[in-house]
Amino acid sequence: MTLAIQIEQARFAYPPLAPGQPAPWVIDGLDLALGQGEWLAVMGASDAGKTTLCLLLAGLAPYLTGGELQGRVTVAGRDTADHPPPALAGVVGLLFQEPEAQLFNPTVETEVAWGLENLGLPLPEIHSRLDEVLALLCLDQVRQRAPGDLSGGEKKRLALASVLAMRPSLLVLDEPMGGLDPAGQRDVLDALSGLRRDRSTTIVMTESDPEAVAAFADRMIVLDGGRIALEGTPRDLFHRPGQLAALGVAVPQMARVAVTLNEKLGAAFSFTSVDEARQALAVYLG
């Protein structure tokens, strides 16, 4: 079975600002293997290389960004060094953090269709995918609306729809919760969990908000200085707040409660959601 992602000994540096200036390795010795259908969360401080990893997975680095890549990045069996990013567009879908930088069509409908037009799909195919994806992300009511008139959550869903319509087998999301209020975050999380339930898309998500990660990710890696410093399940890693704090990663409140109580009471709590916590703690009170 082909792995969804295989990164071997990758090192990547952006081009220097001027010739002769240093070009530090932003990714510095990364190995990663991810199976089809898995959901990986990538955490780390803001300059740890999370966004660069997303660009590498989509083949945008080094092809468009310039710079030097050592090692190999393979997505869905394709080596990104051999495929320019547009050719990977039907395989890897990348969602950027800023909606402004990726929503540029006049209506929701044309926005979602744009990528499909690029792929040269026949019109009936475009129409059927449009209907499917707009329904999936609850955007059919606003089909003719201008993207600028949508709420934050709707814009994110639109960006997601425009990427999903291309039916990628790997979805890479760069800080999907960024800039959203709780209602918007709920929108996006519902959409993503629906996705995971109905298709077996592989998902890689960089995120600073630990609550979202705890709720959905199967696996989690923490980047530091361009390489993987910690690897495991979210449940496992979130119960090491000391290590995470040193790496610049926030911990969900419930995990912090568990760890703090374990220290205070010599207990062995392990919960990541409010319900789990309530059940576990009620036992000792009731």
Question: How far is CA 135 from its chain centroid?
Answer: 22
Q: Which is nearer to another protein, 138 or 250 (CB)?
A: 250
Q: Which is nearer to another protein, 16 or 31 (CB)?
A: 16
In the numeric block, the tokens 């969602």 are attached to 95
Q: Which is nearer to another protein, 19 or 120 (CB)?
A: 120
At closest approach, how far in Å is the CB of 62 from another protein?
12
Q: Which is nearer to another protein, 2 or 260 (CB)?
A: 260
At closest approach, how far in Å is the CB of 1 from another protein?
26
C-alpha separations of 212 from 77, 175, 176, 183, 229 in Å? 29, 10, 10, 13, 21
Q: Which is nearer to another protein, 163 or 220 (CB)?
A: 163
Burial 267-286 (b: 16+ CB within 10 A, else e): eebbbbeeeebeebbeeeee
Count CB atoms within 10 A of the CB of residue 52.
Answer: 23
Q: Which is nearer to another protein, 9 or 139 (CB)?
A: 139
Q: Which is nearer to another protein, 1 or 101 (CB)?
A: 101
At closest approach, how far in Å is the CB of 81 from another protein?
16
Query: Rounded CA gap, 267 and 282, in Å?
Result: 14
Sequential DSSP letters for 88-122: HTTTEEEE-S-GGGT--SSSHHHHHHHHHHHTT--
At closest approach, how far in Å is the CB of 61 from another protein?
9
Three-state SS string across 217-270, please? CCEEEEEECCEEEEEECHHHHHCCHHHHHHCCCCCCHHHHHHHHHHHHHCCCCC
At closest approach, how far in Å is the CB of 266 from another protein?
9
At closest approach, how far in Å is the CB of 222 from another protein?
11
Peptide bond between residue 62 and the one before it cis (omega within 30 degrees of 0): yes
At closest approach, how far in Å is the CB of 258 from another protein?
10
C-alpha separations of 50 from 28, 187, 234 in Å? 12, 24, 17
